[in-house]
Amino acid sequence: MGRAKKTINWKQFGKLIKGGFTLEKIADFFECSSDTIERIVLREKNKNFAEYYADFIKKDKYSNNGKSKIEINWDAVDKLCGIFCTLEEIAAFFECSEDTIERAVEREKGMKFNEYYKKKCAKGKMRLRRFQYKQAENNPTMAIWLGKQYLGQEDLKNKGDKEK
């Protein structure tokens, strides 16, 4: 049996492109590598990522000139917070103003945006910390840094200084 092929939501993908997201941020959003995104675009759109990105921007498929109600996909907001996107980037993803996002969070989640963001980006911090710990297994510099940050370890300036 082969691995299941990764798929992506093209509407969300388009919003990320329209928001000016980089390939790396798009890959983080879909929880895969940049190479995987490039392979999916090539497989499903018959273009490399750069060509598809440029064509998409030219066509501007998802323009919204009217004042229609913005549908907030809270799973998408949570993922964007989890990869440390700014309020500006989240608003660009939904093609609305930052104020619209802030009002939606207050209305539907009962808190200020910065409180909501702090809660939701914690998952991203855990994922980043997990990655750092994995890196420390093969990277002495990372292991030393983590020791200093979490175990209170420090460099000895002069061996004699500690003995006094």
State yes or no: pLDDT of 35 exceeds 50: yes
pLDDT digits (tens, 9 = 90+) for 8-19: 888 888 888 888
In a domain, 34, yes or no: yes
Residue burial 113-134, b: 16+ Cβ < 10 Å; e: rest: beebbeebbeebeeeeeeeeee
In a domain, 138, yes or no: no
Q: How far is CA 157 from CA 63, 142, 153, 160, 161, in A?
A: 60, 20, 13, 9, 7
In this predicted structure, what is the pLDDT of residue 60?
Answer: 57
Name the domain count of the chain: 1
In a domain, 106, yes or no: no
In a domain, 7, yes or no: yes
pLDDT digits (tens, 9 = 90+) for 143-163: 888 888 877 888 887 666 555
Q: What is the model's pTM?
A: 0.57
52 pLDDT band (50/70/90 cuts)? confident
As a whole number of angstroms, the distance between CA 156 and CA 139 comes to: 21
pLDDT digits (tens, 9 = 90+) for 101-118: 999 999 999 999 999 999
Q: Tell me the three state secondary structure of residue 95.
A: coil
Quote the domain boundaries for residue 18: 1-63
In a domain, 41, yes or no: yes
- Residue-averaged pLDDT of the chain: 84
In a domain, 76, yes or no: no
State yes or no: pLDDT of 62 exceeds 50: no
In a domain, 46, yes or no: yes
Mean local confidence (pLDDT), 45-56: 84
In a domain, 162, yes or no: no
Long-range contacts of 14-19 (CB under 8 A, 24+ apart): 14/56, 14/61, 14/62, 15/62, 15/93, 15/94, 15/95, 16/93, 17/53, 17/56, 17/57, 18/56, 18/57, 18/60, 18/62, 18/92, 18/95, 19/89, 19/92, 19/93, 19/95
